[in-house]
A and B are shown apart, each in its own frame.
Chain A
């Protein structure tokens, strides 16, 4: 079983739709969680951190459920420019190096 699991999609949605991505992680000792965005043929870039209290950044909302070891990302009013791969990321609890463990990524295609 992979340490971080995501539905790879693709998710094909019309502009303006609300879309949600889910992710589960296997190590209950994990402490830090993130969503990264990766455009085609580009490097991953930090989208947002994820906290137990939930956090919102404009149209993006991230939630963490530690009991279920479950992370989510909600995108409201999706734009064409949101088309990308969204990577669920967990910081390894096994070291103090900041090593990140990535999920497979979920591909989003927003269509006009």
Chain B
């Protein structure tokens, strides 16, 4: 499809397990964002890429969280040694350029840590 695609849509992880969440942005979109949305809350910014460069990772909650976008298209968010507080929806979004354009969200990856 033409939208932002995320996988897996649902993931159940045991505490301590590592997980990897994938995002396929809209083709040609330069900017890519990751957000975390806990139940009943608004999305919280995690990190931002412009092409392959990670320009802002100020929202990553700990060093267990790592994101990459090596070729400037697909991005992966990795969470090491998952904890129960990591349970949330992880939303990926992309936009055509860095500053002015509409941001389009994927449907999210729903992570439950048990």
Contacts and interface: CB of A to CB of B under 8 A. Distances in A.
A16 interface: no
B105 A45 contact: yes
A99 B44 CA distance: 10
B24 to A, nearest CB: 14
Contacts of B107: 42-43
Contacts of B45: 92, 99-101
Nearest to A46: B102
A44 B43 contact: yes
Nearest to B100: A98
Given A43-B105, A97-B56, A103 B98 contact: no
Contacts of B97: 98
A5 B13 CA distance: 32
A92 B56 CA distance: 12
A98 B42 contact: no
Contacts of A46: 102-103
B101 A98 contact: yes
Contact of B42 (A42, A95, A105): A105
A6 B105 CA distance: 21
B31 A102 contact: no
A43 to B, nearest CB: 4
Interface of A: 4, 6, 8, 42-46, 87, 92, 95-105
Interface of B: 31, 33, 35, 40-45, 48, 50, 55-56, 91, 95, 97-103, 105-108
23 contacts: A6-B42, A43-B91, A43-B105, A44-B43, A44-B105, A45-B105, A46-B102, A46-B103, A87-B43, A96-B98, A96-B99, A97-B31, A97-B56, A98-B97, A98-B98, A98-B100, A98-B101, A99-B56, A100-B33, A100-B45, A100-B103, A102-B44, A105-B42
